[in-house]
Amino acid sequence: MIQKIEINGVHFQVDEDLEKYTKRKIGHLDKYMSKHAKVSAHAEVKLKESKAKDKKQCQCEVILHLPKETLMVKETTINMYAAVDIVEAKLKNQIKKYKDTQESAKFHQRVIRRFRREL
């Protein structure tokens, strides 16, 4: 589980149920990270609610700080729980891409070191 998660509500008070739900959803994204990224990863979650003329808009923005990169996802829907779910799915895909790029670079370095030793 991601150890440091900051949850802030903008223009509304975040209740305990929503905070637990957000921590559970965003916190379990660490299973998609590599070991070195899990240690220093931390997330900032901003939950914003705005009321237009006839609609309520709920916005969830997550900034995930990883080694060598920062991932940011933002989603706006009618329901705050749905926004958190969509942000979690988008972050999952971005973390998988991040992991692939980091692992491919490390693999390339290992192969080069091995060839240099053989020469």
Q: Where are the domains of the chain?
A: 4-118
Q: Which long-range contacts (CB under 8 A, 24 or more apart) does 10-15 make?
A: 10/46, 10/47, 10/48, 10/49, 11/48, 11/49, 11/50, 12/47, 12/48, 12/49, 14/47
Instruction: Give pLDDT tens digits for 28-82.
Output: 999 999 888 899 999 999 999 998 778 889 999 999 999 989 999 999 999 999 9
14, 32, 18: which is closest to 85 by C-alpha? 18
pTM, 2 dp = 0.86
88, 37, 82, 80: which is closest to 62 by C-alpha? 88
The CATH superfamily label for domain 4-118 reads Ribosome hibernation promotion factor-like (3.30.160.100)
Measured between its terminal Cα atoms, the distance across the chain in Å is: 44
* Whole-number pLDDT of residue 53: 79
44, 93, 34, 92: which is closest to 67 by C-alpha? 34
